[in-house]
Amino acid sequence: MNVRRVPTTPIEGQKPGTSGLRKKTAVFMEPGYLENFVQSVFDAVGGLDGKTLTVGGDGRYFNERAIQTILRMAAANGAARVLVGRDGLLSTPAASAVIRARKTDGGLILSASHNPAGEDGDFGIKYNIPSGGPAPESVTDAIYRRSLEVGEYRILDAGDVDLSAAGTRTLGGTCVEVFDPVAIHAGIMRRLFDFDAIRALFASGFTMRFDAMHAVTGPYAKAVLEDELGAPPGTVLNGEPRPDFGGGHPDPNPVHAGALVDLMMRPGAPDFAAASDGDGDRNMILGRGTYVTPSDSLAVLAANATLAPGYAGGLSGIARSMPTSRAADRVAARLGIPAFETPTGWKFFGTLLDAGLATLCGEESAGTGSGHVREKDGLWAVLFWLNILARRRESVHEILAAHWAGHGRDYYSRHDYEGVDRAAAEALLADLRGRLAELPGRRHGPLSVAAADDFSYRDPVDGSIARGQGVRIFFEENPRAVFRLSGTGTAGATLRVYLERFEDASGALGLDPQEALAPVIAAAAEIAGIHVRLGRTAPDVRT
C-alpha cells in the first residue's frame, strides 16, 4: 500500500489556546483542511509511530468520512493501533473514559458540541491528551504553530474500514479496533452510582423523560436507563442519533430544549427530566414544575454526594468556572473543603482533578463532572441526580427548596446576545476593560459598584497563568455581573452576560430569577452600553 504526501489547506482562524477547531462543515470538507489539523496534531505530539489512538465523534454529518480519513492518516503516520467507536460514535465523556481505561496516547474527538449539524451546520475536532482531558494550552499552541507550517500530510492509499460491527481490522500496518461505544462508560457509571436504588425507584412508578435531541447520547441513555435500570421504553426521547440532529440545536437549555421544559411545566408532568447535548457532555436537569440551574445542580450534587457509592468517602474539593454562581462555594465552606474558581473551559479542571484537589467540577454552561473522566459528563450528572432522588425519595423541587433553606439561594441567569457584530462585541469588552478603574463607587439604580476586574487565574498545580478571562463587576449589595465573549460560536460573536445575586436563607427564596435579578440586569446593561453598542434591546437566550 502507498503512502501519499499531499499539500494541506491552511486552517484559517484556528486560534491559539482554543481546545480544538470548530468551523462550518463545508470548511472542514475542503480538501486538505481536516488533514492539516490532524497532521499538525500528529506532528505536535511527537509523531504517531507505534502509538495507540482513540477516535470517535458525535455522529454529525461528515463524522464517518472524517474518521475514514483520520484512520488512513494514522496508518500512514505509523500508528500501531486505533480504537474507534462502532459506527464512528463516541460521546465526549465516553472518549475520555476509553482514553483513560485503555491508556491510549490520547484521542481525536469529532464534534462541534451543541452547535447544529448538517451540511450547512458546524463540524469540529479536538485532541485530548493521554489523561483523557482536553489538551492544555501548551499543546494546543504547539498544534496551532505546526498548522501554519505543516505543508503536506501523509495518507495511505486504501479503502474504507468497516466500522459497522465490533472487531479488529487491518489497515496497512495499523490495527483498527472497532468497539462498543457504550460499554466502558456504562461500567464506570455502575461503579459510581447505586443502580439497585435507582432500579427500585423506577419500579415504584417514578417517571422520567430523557431528551437525547437526536444526538450521541441516545444509545447510552437507552442502554443504561431503559435496558439496565428498568425505566419504561419511551423514557428516552429522540434517541436515534441523526447526522443533522433532526434539524435541531442540541444545546440543553430552556430555549433549545424548550419542548421538554414545557412538558415539565404542565400538569401531569413526569417526576424528572433531563437532556444532553450533541456530544453528550452537557446536561439539563428538570423536576416537575422546576428548572435546576447548572450552578445549583453542582451545589446540590456536592451537598448530597455521599449518597452515591462512588463519592461515599466525601469530596476533596469543588471546582467551578468563574462565571458559575457561588452556590457551590457555600457547600464547600459548609463541608470544610476547598473551593476553586477557574476560567471558563473544562481543561482548567484537569490539573486539579489529576492532583486530587477537587472531586466535583461544574460550569454554568450546563457542564458537571468529576474525576471519573477528564470531560464534563451529561449522563453522569443525570444518574447522580437519579441516585439522590432514589435515596431521598423527595421531589426535585423539595430537594432544591431544602438546599436553599439550608444554604441560601444564588439567583442566577445568563443572558446571551447571539450572532452580534464581532467588532462591536470586541469593542464593548475592550471599552469595559479600559474603564475598570473608574467603575467602583458608581451608582446604577439601587446598586453601586464595589470592585471591577478582568479575571486572571494562576493554576495552583502547574503555576500557569491565564489572563483576560472575563470582566467581573461586584456590587456592594452582593450581586455580581460578568461579561465575556463566547469561544465556541462559528458565526459573528456571542456576548454572554452572567448575572447573580445571593439571598440568604432568611430572605425571599421563591422569586422569579429574572425579577430577582432585575436591578443587576439593568445595571449591567447600562455599564456596558449593551443596547447602544450592539443594537439589541433583549438577549436571545436567558438560561
What whole-number distance in Å separates Cα of residue 298 and Cα of residue 294? 6
Residues 173-192 binding ligand G16 (CB under 6 A) are none
Considering the candidates 19, 113, 325, 413, report the single residue annotated as catalytic.
Answer: 113
Member of 276, 469, 488, 543 binding ligand G16 (CB under 6 A): 488
475: which DSSP letter?
A: E
Which segment (208-216, 332-340, 424-432, 481-489) binds ligand G16 by CB under 6 A?
481-489
Side-chain-side CA neighbours of residue 387 (13 Å): 25
By the rule CB under 6 A, 370 interacts with ligand G16: no
- 164 carries an active-site annotation: no
**Smallest distance, ligand G16 to C-beta of residue 255, A:** 14
By the rule CB under 6 A, 211 interacts with ligand G16: no
What whole-number distance in Å separates Cα of residue 417 and Cα of residue 429? 13
Of the two residues 172 and 248, which places its CB atom closer to ligand G16 in the complex? Answer: 248
Phi, psi of 315 (to 5 degrees): -105, 145
By the rule CB under 6 A, 122 interacts with ligand G16: no
CB neighbour burial string for 128-149, b if at least 16 within 10 angstroms, e if fewer: bbbbbbbbbbebbbbbbebbee
Which triple of cell numbers denotes residue 429? 469588552
By the rule CB under 6 A, 344 interacts with ligand G16: yes
Which segment (168-176, 231-239, 361-369, 395-403) binds ligand G16 by CB under 6 A?
361-369
Q: What distances in angstroms separate CA 482 from CA 242, 365, 520, 539, one per listed residue? A: 36, 14, 11, 15
Member of 25, 91, 104, 113 binding ligand G16 (CB under 6 A): 113
Which segment (80-88, 310-318, 343-351, 499-507) binds ligand G16 by CB under 6 A?
343-351
Which segment (55-63, 212-220, 222-230, 480-488) binds ligand G16 by CB under 6 A?
480-488
**Smallest distance, ligand G16 to C-beta of residue 138, A:** 18
Residues 259-318 binding ligand G16 (CB under 6 A) are 281-282
By the rule CB under 6 A, 363 interacts with ligand G16: yes
Amino acid identity, position 421: D
Member of 210, 220, 346, 455 binding ligand G16 (CB under 6 A): 346
Member of 367, 369, 378, 539 binding ligand G16 (CB under 6 A): 367
**Helix, strand, coil percent content, the chain, rounded in steps of 5:** 35, 25, 40
Q: What distances in angstroms separate CA 259 from CA 54, 213, 238, 335, 540, one per listed residue? A: 35, 11, 12, 37, 17
Which segment (10-18, 338-346, 388-396, 471-479) binds ligand G16 by CB under 6 A?
338-346
What whole-number distance in Å separates Cα of residue 275 and Cα of residue 282? 8
By the rule CB under 6 A, 136 interacts with ligand G16: no
**Smallest distance, ligand G16 to C-beta of residue 489, A:** 6
SS3 498: strand
What whole-number distance in Å separates Cα of residue 543 and Cα of residue 257? 11
What whole-number distance in Å separates Cα of residue 192 and Cα of residue 380? 9
**Smallest distance, ligand G16 to C-beta of residue 256, A:** 13
**Smallest distance, ligand G16 to C-beta of residue 347, A:** 7
**Smallest distance, ligand G16 to C-beta of residue 480, A:** 17
What whole-number distance in Å separates Cα of residue 370 and Cα of residue 328? 14
Question: How many amino acids of this chain bind ligand G16 (CB under 6 A)?
Answer: 15
Q: What distances in angstroms separate CA 69 from CA 65, 192, 240, 338, one per listed residue? A: 6, 36, 25, 45
By the rule CB under 6 A, 87 interacts with ligand G16: no
**Smallest distance, ligand G16 to C-beta of residue 501, A:** 21
Of the two residues 100 and 414, which places its CB atom closer to ligand G16 in the complex? Answer: 414
Per-residue three-class SS string for 218-264: HHHHHHHHHHHCCCCCCCEECCCCCCCHHHCCCCCCCCCCHHHHHHH
By the rule CB under 6 A, 25 interacts with ligand G16: no
Which segment (255-263, 305-313, 331-339, 483-491) binds ligand G16 by CB under 6 A?
483-491
What does the angle CA 398 – CA 312 – CA 104 come to, to the nearest 5 degrees?
A: 115
Binding region for ligand G16 (CB under 6 A)? 113-114, 281-282, 321, 344-346, 363, 365, 367, 486-488, 496
Which residues are the active-site residues? 113
